[in-house]
Structure 1
Amino acid sequence: MLFDQLKNPRFFGPDVTSVQLLQTHISYVALTGTYAYKVKKPVNFGFLDFSTLDKRKHFCEEEVRLNKRLCPEMYLDVLPITKKDNTLELDGNGTIVEYVVKMKEFPQESIMTNLLMQRKISEKTIDHLCAILVDFYNLQKPSEDVKKYGELSSVKQNIDENFDQTRPMIDVTVPKETFWSIKDMVTKFFELRKQVFGQRMKQGRIYECHGDLHSGNIAIMGDAINIFDCIEFNDRFRFCDVASDIGFLAMDLDYLDYPYLSSYLIEKYIEKSKDLTIYLVLNFYKSYRAFVRGKVYGFQLNDPHIDPATKNDIQNAAKKYFELSAYYARLFSLDFEKQRPVVFLVAGLSGTGKSTIARKIAVDYHGTQINTDVVRKQIAGIDQYEPHHDQINTGLYDPKKVEQTYERVMQYASVSLKKGENVVIDATFQKKKYREMACHMARKYNALLLMIQCICPDTVVKKRLEDRLKGKSVSDGRWEIYLSQKTTFEPFSSEEICLTLDTSEESYTYRMNFFHQLLSQVYQVK
Structure 2
Amino acid sequence: MSGDGAEAEVVRWLSGEIGPPIETAISRVFLGETLAYKLKRHVSLGYVEFGTAERRLWALERELAFNARTCDIYRRLRPITRAAGGGLEWEGPGEVVDYALEMRRFDDEAVLSKSPERLDGDMAEALGRTIAGVHREAPLKPQGGLTALAFTVGSNAQLLRELAPELGAARVEELVARTEAEFERQSALLAHRSATGFARQCHGDLHLGNILVEDGRPVLFDCIEFNDLLSDLDVQYDLAFLLMDLEFRGRRGAAVRVLSAYLDEAARSFPPELWDGLAALPLMLSVRAGVRAHVLAHSADAETARRYVDAAIAHLSPAPPRLVAVGGLSGSGKSTFARALAGRIAPSPGAVILRTDEIRKRLLGAPPTQRMDPAIYTPEAYARTYDALMGHAGAMLRAGRSVLLDATFIDPALRARAEAVARDCGVPFHGAWLEAPAEVLEARVAARTGDASDATVEVLRDQLRRVEGMDIGWRRVDATQPAAAAAEGWAAGLS
Coarse TM-score class (shorter-chain normalised): 0.5 to 0.7
Aligned to 2:268: 272
Partner of 1:122: helix, strand, or coil?
Answer: helix
Cα distance between partner residues in 2 of 1:21 and 1:192:
45
Segments of 5+ residues of structure 1 without an aligned counterpart are: 302-310, 377-382, 389-404, 456-460, 482-488, 494-501, 522-526
Tell me whether 1:472 sits opposite 2:443 in the alignment.
no
Tell me whether 1:448 sits opposite 2:427 in the alignment.
yes
Using the size of structure 2 for normalisation, the TM-score is: 0.66
Partner of 2:158: helix, strand, or coil?
Answer: helix
Aligned to 1:397: none
Tell me whether 1:287 sits opposite 2:282 in the alignment.
no
- Given that 2:70 and 2:221 are in contact with CA atoms closer than 8 Å, whether structure 1 keeps it comes out as yes
Tell me whether 1:326 sits opposite 2:313 in the alignment.
yes
Amino acid at match of 1:157: F
Q: Offset of 1:59 from its aligned partner?
A: 2.5
Aligned to 2:398: 421
Segments of 5+ residues of structure 2 without an aligned counterpart are: 361-367, 375-381, 435-439, 462-470, 476-481
- Given that 1:71 and 1:227 are in contact with CA atoms closer than 8 Å, whether structure 2 keeps it comes out as yes
Cα distance between partner residues in 1 of 2:64 and 2:286:
29
- Given that 2:339 and 2:353 are in contact with CA atoms closer than 8 Å, whether structure 1 keeps it comes out as no
- Given that 1:130 and 1:268 are in contact with CA atoms closer than 8 Å, whether structure 2 keeps it comes out as no
**Per-residue CA distance 1:193-226 (angstroms, 9 max, x = gap):** 3211231133122222222223322344226765
Aligned to 1:75: 75
Aligned to 2:144: 149
Tell me whether 1:168 sits opposite 2:162 in the alignment.
yes
- Given that 2:256 and 2:351 are in contact with CA atoms closer than 8 Å, whether structure 1 keeps it comes out as no
Structure 1 residues 355, 47: closer, same or farther in 2, change over 3 A?
same
**Per-residue CA distance 1:148-177 (angstroms, 9 max, x = gap):** 223x45531221112211223336357842
Aligned to 1:458: none
- Given that 2:136 and 2:270 are in contact with CA atoms closer than 8 Å, whether structure 1 keeps it comes out as no
Amino acid at match of 1:229: D
Amino acid at match of 1:354: F
Cα distance between partner residues in 1 of 2:11 and 2:192:
50
Cα distance between partner residues in 1 of 2:388 and 2:258:
29
**Per-residue CA distance 1:49-88 (angstroms, 9 max, x = gap):** 3345554344234323433343456231143386999x97
- Given that 2:74 and 2:103 are in contact with CA atoms closer than 8 Å, whether structure 1 keeps it comes out as yes
- Given that 1:112 and 1:218 are in contact with CA atoms closer than 8 Å, whether structure 2 keeps it comes out as yes
Cα distance between partner residues in 2 of 1:428 and 1:224:
31
Structure 1 residues 413, 8: closer, same or farther in 2, change over 3 A?
same
Structure 1 residues 367, 89: closer, same or farther in 2, change over 3 A?
same
**Per-residue CA distance 1:358-400 (angstroms, 9 max, x = gap):** 6555995998856698999xxxxxx997899xxxxxxxxxxxx
Q: Offset of 1:36 from its aligned partner?
A: 1.0
Q: Offset of 1:89 from its aligned partner?
A: 4.4
Aligned to 2:339: 356
- Given that 2:224 and 2:231 are in contact with CA atoms closer than 8 Å, whether structure 1 keeps it comes out as yes
Q: Offset of 1:10 from its aligned partner?
A: 7.4
Q: Offset of 1:234 from its aligned partner?
A: 0.8
Q: Offset of 1:26 from its aligned partner?
A: 2.7
Cα distance between partner residues in 1 of 2:274 and 2:409:
31
Aligned to 2:22: 22
Identity, % of aligned positions: 21
Cα distance between partner residues in 1 of 2:396 and 2:277:
19
Aligned to 1:486: none
User: Aligned residue pairs: how many?
Assistant: 449
Partner of 2:166: helix, strand, or coil?
Answer: coil
Partner of 1:36: helix, strand, or coil?
Answer: strand
Tell me whether 1:222 sits opposite 2:223 in the alignment.
no
Aligned to 1:198: 191
Amino acid at match of 2:267: E
Structure 1 residues 114, 295: closer, same or farther in 2, change over 3 A?
same
Aligned to 1:343: 323
Cα distance between partner residues in 1 of 2:7 and 2:257:
39
Alpha-carbon RMSD: 5.9
Q: Offset of 1:182 from its aligned partner?
A: 3.5
Using the size of structure 1 for normalisation, the TM-score is: 0.62
My pick for the range that moved more, 67-76 or 209-218, is: 67-76
Partner of 1:101: helix, strand, or coil?
Answer: strand
Partner of 2:144: helix, strand, or coil?
Answer: helix
Q: Offset of 1:243 from its aligned partner?
A: 1.9
Cα distance between partner residues in 2 of 1:322 and 1:30:
34
Cα distance between partner residues in 1 of 2:117 and 2:37:
26
